[in-house]
Chain A
Amino acid sequence: MSSLSGRTAVAGIGATEFSKQSGRSELRLAAEAVLAALDDAGLTPADVDGMVTYTQDTNQEIAVAREAGIGDLSFFSRVHYGGGAACGTVLHAAMAVATGVAETVVCYRAFNERSGRRFGQPDARIGGEPSSQGLEMSWHVPYGLMTPAAWVAMFARRYMHVYGVTSEDFGRVAVAMRRHAATNPAAWFHRRPITLREHQESKWIVEPLHLLDCCQESDGAVALVVTSAERARHLRRSPAVIKAAAQGSGAGQMMMTSYYRDDMTGLPEMGVVGRRLWEQARLGPADVQTAILYDHFTPFVLTQLEELGFCGRGEARDYVADGGIEIDGRLPVNPHGGQLGEAYIHGMNGIAEAVRQIRGTSVNQVAGVHNVLVTAGTGVPTSGLILSAD
């Protein structure tokens, strides 16, 4: 069987502005981002024959296609598990292109997650239905354990206990992301860096997480155009070659509440993704110049550094100390400011930043970028990518 590695590329990226109130429908945001991505690639809606989004997206592929004036589709697909879908959309698109099922696939995510339905707010309905997910939630929701911050905080507390990690260690992640966002005009927190002290003094959301451990909530949309690497070489932009793409789920996996596995300090599903990525790309942690790590909450950035092999178990606190993941550190993480600093677009904005880093066009460009690792949602079944310069 031939490998997926190197056969496809991200040829275009597009986004709306990131805001707290877009003032527009989610469908309109989706259509705007899709058109922007096509324009970036130098393609037209008529070139598109495939579309992929998240199962959580409220905009049907056919609706976005209608609005954007996209005609026949030979491939449409959705990826499950919240923000864990982000890189999975690119994986699905790449597989479709590599197998000839489609030629040009658009991946998109659009929502009014701040002005519309906010994931951070409790929703009593999530435990209400006797579906497999409703039953899973029913072991937690009746006790008021029902917000993403609370689900993550439960892992974080155990991780702190086992490895002696402190809230300040988490705070260093937030400080790094806000430093990066401060020089990114597209970021919501542009020109608004924070100090570790501000992190420590921010109010409790769910102990041990402070407000500044939690990403913001945002309105906006991001779209990506995936086509063959060969075709991408003849388009407007230099291609970001998809060197590796993978999804991952672990044994005993649950949606955000995998508290029943032996160990609660890791992210085994991210371990699955990492092993697949390194193997597929024939690369290792030392070969990437910058990483986009999913940062809806700070603690899992540390866990990811360990799961992906950038450092050993329990060593991430030292890895992020002294600006280790800042733009001038040993591994610049999320130069755009991540979801903590730029916007929470369910991880899709991170993939766009990875493409910019490959192109050399980021506002916070890291020098000499050849390979970028990108991850998707943490605590859920997830996905990842390695993008490379041609």
Chain B
Amino acid sequence: MRTLTEDQIAIGTVLPDLVIPLTPTMIISTALATMDFTAVHHDVEGARAQGSKDIFLNILTTMGLVERYVTDWAGPGALIRGINVRLGVPAYAGDTLTFTGTVVGHENGEFTVEVRGEVSLGDHATGTVRFSPPGE
């Protein structure tokens, strides 16, 4: 797997989309892998009892997927410095989460990528990821 170098990235570079089908397995396996045992992330009845239409993605997973979205593109050697996410509508089981992104900043060897994760209800997560390509 290649890692993008500083000269291969420019402000305005558009990241390839990442489409994630939100199967119940995806919702539940990620909730458990992030040690989040809240019922709304694995128990449909429990989720409905709390007013949700179905189980939905937990925030720790949203953060993980945003990170993956950037490193899938930037490559395994990219150093993630920070992730700022504004949380939107829930990402329910059965929906599809589509990430899009654009490089919007470049300063002192650090790039900022604007990321949007969208589901059928609207924006699930919007924000920025800061990363550095590997140094010399």
Query: In the complex, A touching B, CB below 8 Å?
Result: yes
When each residue 2-19 of chain B gets 1 if its CB lies under 8 Å from chain A and 0 otherwise, what string results? Answer: 100000000000001101
Which residues of chain A from 62 to 102 have any CB-CB distance to chain B below 8 Å in the complex? none
Is B19 a contact partner of A58 (Cβ separation < 8 A)?
no
Residues of B within 8 A of A121 (CB): 19
Give the interface segment out of A122-130, A151-159, A204-212: A122-130
Is A116 a contact partner of B1 (Cβ separation < 8 A)?
yes
Residues of A within 8 A of B17 (CB): 122, 124
Which residues from chain A sit less than 8 Å from chain B, CB to CB? Answer: 25-26, 58, 116, 121-125
Which residues from chain B sit less than 8 Å from chain A, CB to CB? Answer: 1-2, 16-17, 19
Q: How far is the CA of A26 from the CA of B1 in the complex (A)?
A: 8
Q: How far is the CA of A123 from the CA of B16 in the complex (A)?
A: 7
- Please name the residue on chain B nearest to A112 by beta carbon: B1
CB distance from B85 to the nearest CB of A (A): 23
Is B1 a contact partner of A122 (Cβ separation < 8 A)?
no
Q: How far is the CA of A116 from the CA of B2 in the complex (A)?
A: 12
Residues of B within 8 A of A25 (CB): 1
Residues of A within 8 A of B2 (CB): 58
- Please name the residue on chain A nearest to B18 by beta carbon: A121
Tally of A-B residue pairs with Cβ under 8 A?
12
Q: Is the interface of B mostly helix, strand, loop or mixed?
A: strand
Q: How far is the CA of A121 from the CA of B20 in the complex (A)?
A: 10
Is B1 a contact partner of A58 (Cβ separation < 8 A)?
yes
Q: How far is the CA of A25 from the CA of B1 in the complex (A)?
A: 7
CB distance from A339 to the nearest CB of B (A): 23
Q: How far is the CA of A268 from the CA of B16 in the complex (A)?
A: 34
Is A125 a contact partner of B1 (Cβ separation < 8 A)?
no
Residues of B within 8 A of A116 (CB): 1
- Please name the residue on chain A nearest to B16 by beta carbon: A125
Residues of B within 8 A of A125 (CB): 16
Other A-B contacts than A26-B1, A116-B1, A122-B17, 9 sampled, CB-CB below 8 A, are A25-B1, A58-B1, A58-B2, A121-B19, A122-B19, A123-B16, A124-B16, A124-B17, A125-B16
Q: How far is the CA of A55 from the CA of B19 in the complex (A)?
A: 26
Q: How far is the CA of A122 from the CA of B19 in the complex (A)?
A: 8
Nearest 7 interchain pairs by C-beta = A125-B16, A124-B17, A123-B16, A124-B16, A121-B19, A122-B19, A25-B1
Q: How far is the CA of A189 from the CA of B16 in the complex (A)?
A: 32
Q: How far is the CA of A116 from the CA of B75 in the complex (A)?
A: 12
Q: How far is the CA of A58 from the CA of B76 in the complex (A)?
A: 15
Q: How far is the CA of A8 from the CA of B51 in the complex (A)?
A: 70
CB distance from A118 to the nearest CB of B (A): 11
12 of the cross-chain contacts (CB-CB < 8 Å) are: A25-B1, A26-B1, A58-B1, A58-B2, A116-B1, A121-B19, A122-B17, A122-B19, A123-B16, A124-B16, A124-B17, A125-B16
CB distance from B22 to the nearest CB of A (A): 15
CB distance from B24 to the nearest CB of A (A): 15
- Please name the residue on chain B nearest to A27 by beta carbon: B1
Residues of A within 8 A of B1 (CB): 25-26, 58, 116
Most central of B1, B2, B19 by chain A CB within 10 Å: B1
Q: How far is the CA of A121 from the CA of B2 in the complex (A)?
A: 20
Q: How far is the CA of A122 from the CA of B16 in the complex (A)?
A: 10
- Please name the residue on chain A nearest to B17 by beta carbon: A124
CB distance from A331 to the nearest CB of B (A): 38
CB distance from A87 to the nearest CB of B (A): 28
- Please name the residue on chain B nearest to A26 by beta carbon: B1
- Please name the residue on chain A nearest to B76 by beta carbon: A25
Residues of A within 8 A of B16 (CB): 123-125
Q: How far is the CA of A90 from the CA of B1 in the complex (A)?
A: 26
CB distance from A160 to the nearest CB of B (A): 28
- Please name the residue on chain B nearest to A121 by beta carbon: B19
CB distance from A31 to the nearest CB of B (A): 15
Q: How far is the CA of A123 from the CA of B1 in the complex (A)?
A: 17
Residues of B within 8 A of A122 (CB): 17, 19
Q: How far is the CA of A307 from the CA of B2 in the complex (A)?
A: 40
- Please name the residue on chain B nearest to A125 by beta carbon: B16
CB distance from A126 to the nearest CB of B (A): 10
CB distance from A119 to the nearest CB of B (A): 14
Q: How far is the CA of A26 from the CA of B76 in the complex (A)?
A: 13
CB distance from A156 to the nearest CB of B (A): 24
CB distance from A211 to the nearest CB of B (A): 14
Q: How far is the CA of A125 from the CA of B19 in the complex (A)?
A: 13
Q: How far is the CA of A124 from the CA of B2 in the complex (A)?
A: 20
CB distance from A64 to the nearest CB of B (A): 15
CB distance from A93 to the nearest CB of B (A): 26
- Please name the residue on chain A nearest to B2 by beta carbon: A58
CB distance from A127 to the nearest CB of B (A): 12
- Please name the residue on chain B nearest to A126 by beta carbon: B16
CB distance from A33 to the nearest CB of B (A): 18
Q: How far is the CA of A332 from the CA of B16 in the complex (A)?
A: 42
